[in-house]
Amino acid sequence: MKIIADENIPFVKECFSSVGECLTCHGRKISNEILKDADALLVRSITKVDEKLLAGSNVKFVATATIGFEHIDIDYLAKNNIGFSSAPGSNANSVSEYITSAILNLADKYDFDIAKKSIGIIGVGNVGSRVEKKAKALGMKVVLNDPPLARQTGDEKYRPLKEIFDCDIITCHTPLNSDGIDKTYHLADEAFFKSLKKGAIFINSSRGKVHDTGALKNIIRTGKLTAAVLDVWENEPNIDIELLEMVDFGTPHIAGYSYDGKVAGMIMIYEAFCRHFGVEKTGKIEDFLPVPKISEIFIKNNEKKPLRFAVNSLYDIRKDDSALRQMKNEPADNRGAFFDSLRKNYPVRREFQNTTVRVDDTSLKSVFEGLGFKTTK
């Protein structure tokens, strides 16, 4: 069995070689010619999978090691009896930790009390629900917006978008829907930004096309926003350099790039592959996760900002921001490749759950646990 896989899916060759011949290449270079005699295709979000890519091939199974699958033509796969799987929730915790680091570092930069702030979460699926949990652990007032869930459940905890506009921080965690009742393409447009309260903070780590680049630049110019944080951009990897220079933190679409999340996504599509082809699975997630470099963090009694200290010890958003800002030093025709290289060569980042925080303060201990850390005295 021949398997073509994106080279940036961690351990994909090591794991899938047990069930077939696994060949890897850059996700943007996967072509119809490469797939002619392939049985399975494993991708990430940068590869558009449709009739143009698959026509005339022998592919019987497609999987994406990502939570979203807007890059996959699901209807085409179904019509041609091609199996499909994604990795829902695999990197959700990673994104919620990214948001946590962003908020803690913004609080330090602008000297505000997080517990006195409200946060509006647009999209309350695997990612948004984890952001909610961490925001509540930080003492924030949380307002949730998710029209599909509101219709499905009738639960009044899902509030209309107009109530989100009153929040101090707005963070987007939606899929990209180009049309329909739940359209999210350019959800954050000129009218959206004009509706925000003065001094709001806008964060997007969902999909680049959820925000309108021009509208976001315009609202930043007016001074209405206190801050903006972007992990996703329109036209990736050829992002708007001017917008990068305008936001407080800009990162190269790596919010979900924890090592734990990457490996979990790979294992999920491996298991789906085995089910589809009826082969025995031998790989498991424990086989591929290394011992964390930071297994313990000690919080001293005189530590002024213990939460920020602990979170930044594992993930400091400022480092990714600094790395991406080097893009402006690249020739214009090499900036897309530079963006991709930051993603391809992303350092190992482990999730909070792998680290124990030693802390005496009981109330602080509960906050750390709410953020996902293990704790002990």
Q: Catalytic site residues?
A: 207, 236, 253
The β-bridge partners of 72 are 49
Residue 257 CA neighbour count, 13 Å, CB half: 22
Rounded distance between C-alpha atoms, residue 245 and residue 220, angstroms: 11
Rounded distance between C-alpha atoms, residue 220 and residue 95, angstroms: 24
Structure tokens at 257: 């790039």
Rounded distance between C-alpha atoms, residue 355 and residue 114, angstroms: 23
Structure tokens at 322: 């600094």
Rg (CA), the chain: 21
The total number of residues written for the chain in this structure: 377
Angle 253-244-43 (CA atoms, 0-180°, nearest 5)? 20
Instruction: Fill in the DSSP letter of residue 72.
Output: B
Structure tokens at 148: 């599909």
Structure tokens at 321: 């921001």
Phi then psi for residue 16, to 5 deg, are: -80, -15
Instruction: Give Cα 345 distance to the centre of its chain.
Output: 17
CA-based nearest residue to 349, from 91, 143, 4: 91
3-state secondary structure of 334: helix
CA-based nearest residue to 188, from 171, 166, 168, 169: 171
Phi then psi for residue 148, to 5 deg, are: -60, -45
Dihedral sign computed on CA atoms, order 272, 149, 206, 256: negative
Strand-by-strand arrangement of the 118-122 sheet: 141-145, 118-122, 169-172, 201-204, 227-230, 249-250
Instruction: Fill in the DSSP letter of residue 40.
Output: E
Segment holding 377, helix H or strand E: none
